[in-house]
Structure 1
């Protein structure tokens, strides 16, 4: 059944260890990257090579590359969030002083971590939608502190293969019209 999709959702992040965990493992408060503003945008872009004769009589195409990116604005965040958005971030906490310190930078500090980025759009009428990619934030981030606007971190997660089939995007939707 085709549906009209309205609204945003929640964005979860979970360190990838080689296998995708079940939804119930990912969709817990401790894995919430932060509440988002501006929704989430998934883009998929294939690149093609076309071999074609000079007269345009015969041709053959093949996919040579694919790119999938999930973008979202993270409105609620802290220093631990920055660690998930920067592969060179190191976080320390002084429990006595109640201070968290984040150091970012130094190419030698690249942790090489990949994350499961899991977006959940809840729809109690037409059924939920879940989008899952494995990757990392490759766009860096910008923190803008303005007197009349909340600080939102615009994250851009680039997908990497999540299985031995080269899957970049796992899109799952509930649909009551599916029957046995």
Structure 2
């Protein structure tokens, strides 16, 4: 039997998360098991290590419809959006190429230099990325945010004598499926047996 609101123990989530990206080709892979999710969370899909945590913001814009006499009101959802912002350590030109749609990289003929070219509207590669944010928590259980989108804020680099240089992209999510969802939040259920699951619940 699935846990109810009365019996479920809610853990405190502590710690940061790591970001993985894979070019989105139009279909989200099956994400029904931990193994399927972790198959995406590999070094080949990592473009840096998180520094300073990660901020996810889901925002809504609504309209309030009011009758002339003020006696009848209705609030309707006008639009919604999801943004994810984080800082990345351990980046290089290949990471910049993935994070910035106008960037491209090439290697010098002697193989000793990586040259990254950035900017220019005509250089936008139009790529969209499947992004996975993995939060590892041995007490509360791991969790993942999965969405499709791209970096829409460019980037800012600060070179400092007392801290490492990081890239700070901000991703804006697009619809991840035909139902218009912006993201999936997947979490481990501690103590659940393999036979449990399959229920769809709405908050209420």
Do Structure 1 and Structure 2 share a fold, with TM-score over 0.5? yes
Query: Which ranges in structure 1 are unaligned for 5 or more consecutive residues?
Result: none
Q: Aligned partners of 2:182, 2:191: CA distance in 1, in Å?
A: 27
**Deviation digits for residues 43-76 of structure 1, max 9, x if unmatched?**
0001111111244321112111111001110011
State the secondary structure of the residue aligned to 1:67.
strand
Task: Supply the distance in 2 between the matched residues of 1:128 and 1:70 (Cα, whole angstroms).
Answer: 18
Distance across 2 between alignment mates of 1:105 and 1:81: 15
Q: Report the aligned-residue RMSD.
A: 1.5
List gaps (5 residues or longer) in structure 2. 1-7, 30-35, 197-204
Residue 25 (structure 2) aligned to one of 14, 17, 28: 17
1:7 aligns with 2:15: yes
What is the match of residue 164 of structure 1? Answer: 178
Q: Following the alignment from structure 2 to structure 1, what is the Cα–Cα distance between the partners of residues 67 and 169? A: 43
Equivalent-residue separation in structure 2 for 1:174 and 1:166 (angstroms): 24
Query: Is the partner of 2:96 in helix, strand or coil?
Result: helix
Aligned residue runs from structure 1 range 17-166, under 5 A:
17-21=25-29, 22-94=36-108, 96-166=110-180
Tell me the equivalent position of 2:202. Answer: none
Moved over 6 A (4+): none
Higher share of residues assigned strand: 1
Structure 2 Cα separation of the partners of residues 155 and 106 of structure 1: 18
Structure 1 Cα separation of the partners of residues 90 and 56 of structure 2:
21
Q: Secondary structure at the match of 1:159?
A: strand
How far, CA to CA, are the matches of 1:142 and 1:162 in structure 2? 27
Rg larger for? 2
TM normalised by structure 2 equals 0.83
SS in 2 for 1:83: helix
Indicate how the Cα distance of structure 1 residues 48 and 178 shifts in structure 2: closer, same or farther if over 3 A, else same: farther
Give the deviation of 1:95 after TM superposition: 5.8
> TM-score, normalization: structure 1?
0.94
